[in-house]
Amino acid sequence: MPSSPIRKLVPFSDAAKERGIDVIHLNIGQPDIETPIEMLTAIRNYAEPVIAYTQSGGVPSYRHKLVDYYAKHDIHVEKDDILVTTGGSEALLFAIFSILDDGDEIIIPEPFYANYNGFSQAGNITVQPITSSISDGFALPEISAFKEKINKKTKAILICNPNNPTGYLYTKQELEQLREIVLEHDLFLIVDEVYREFVYDGKNHTSVLSLDGLDEHAIVVDSVSKRYSACGARVGAVVSRNLTFMQTVMKFAQARLSPPAIAQAAAEAAVDVPNQYFEEVRTEYVSRRDFVVQELNKIPGVVCPNPGGAFYCMLQLPVDDTEAFCKWLLTDFSFDGSTIMLAPAAGFYSSKGLGSNQARLAYVLEKNKLAKALECLRLALQEYDK
């Protein structure tokens, strides 16, 4: 199991804080957006006399409400097509382990969320990466590149839409191209859609579950963590119309007993959060994104494409080893009592040697903190260059 590129530098961050340094965390997708009051109220009013196990697939009333939630997003599923998990990461783990065996292969465009690699390695599953490029904003690589990777061991294609770590939003046309491949070769198409609500510039999100002909092939990984700024609740879901797949996922769900009871009560209440909440959050993220991308591209040697969704951007930095640079930021640099923590990008790639001059930045803090962080980065690059 590889170390997390997002969390592996935490000991250096902790040491910096012990020295009195204010560490501005842009390494992790932990928003400062307030959790909706509906969720907090549900937690405060939880009055069951016993905090008991729930059903392994999740509380039935919550799953019924999720059916209505998905319908609002043109995703038409039934309660039994939804299995509640302990966060989106568990949903991803269950999905991968349900459809891939030791020695099987999965195709994933890189850079990708680090757990895709970690969970695959844990199951002795081979990741076949398709490399996307910062030069075109990390768009979906040519379909021919996918076809070249397919062999008798290939069982699935996995993407994240909108993408973590790049922020790229896959179009309906790109998803339809992937649909043709999975139908032709009888593969699964796993789509991590946890950032569904965070799509910008007047564009729309297309769910793989809204495409025709994929009932036996499409699997969605979902989560409340980012949607409601409730990362600590640890409630996610696996969604698929493939009955055999869902029966297999249930075996993993039964083995871990049940998802958390109190957090499910909060997540169920969150389904009633008005759309105005998301409109305001989207507006805030667009403002942060525009500020961050503009200021980053002013820094000499820095390249930052404009992400179309989520709240991450991948930077190209004028250094030859971003892991060493990110560590140095925590051990040797400070400006006005502060420093910045980024996620080195090599851990978001499967191909060796890629991402060594890139880092992921999460624009999850209010703009005053972002401004200070970017000033730290600008000055740090000057000092590091010397």
Q: Are the C-beta atoms of 77 and 237 separated by less than 8 Å? A: no
Q: 111 preceded by cis ω (within 30°)? A: yes
Matching CATH number, 10-34+276-385, of 3.20.10.10, 3.40.50.2300, 3.40.50.1580, 3.90.1150.10: 3.90.1150.10
pLDDT for res 7: 81
Rounded Cα distance, 43 and 234, in Å: 14
Q: Which position has the token pair 């119309």?
A: 241
Phi-psi region of 58 (alpha: psi -120 to 50; beta: other; left: phi over 0): left
According to DSSP, the residues that pair with 23 across neighbouring strands are 339
Q: How far is CA 220 from CA 179, 315, 323, in A?
A: 14, 28, 32
Q: How far is CA 77 from CA 68, 115, 159, in A?
A: 9, 27, 21
pLDDT for res 3: 77
Q: Are the C-beta atoms of 23 and 355 separated by less than 8 Å? A: no
Can you give the residue ranges of every domain in the chain? Answer: 10-34+276-385, 38-270
Rounded Cα distance, 356 and 329, in Å: 16
pLDDT for res 135: 95
| pTM of this structure | 0.96
Q: How far is CA 169 from CA 120, 266, 309, in A?
A: 24, 29, 6
Per-residue pLDDT for the chain (386 aa), expressed as one digit of tens each? Answer: 877 777 889 999 999 999 999 999 999 999 999 999 999 999 999 999 999 999 999 999 999 999 999 999 999 999 999 999 999 999 999 999 999 999 999 999 999 999 999 999 999 999 999 999 999 999 999 999 999 999 999 999 999 999 999 999 999 999 999 999 999 999 999 999 999 999 999 999 999 999 999 999 999 999 999 999 999 999 999 999 999 999 999 999 999 999 999 999 999 999 999 999 999 999 999 999 999 999 999 999 999 999 999 999 999 999 999 999 999 999 999 999 999 999 999 999 999 999 999 999 999 999 999 999 999 999 999 999 98
Rounded Cα distance, 189 and 140, in Å: 14
CATH for 38-270 is: 3.40.640.10
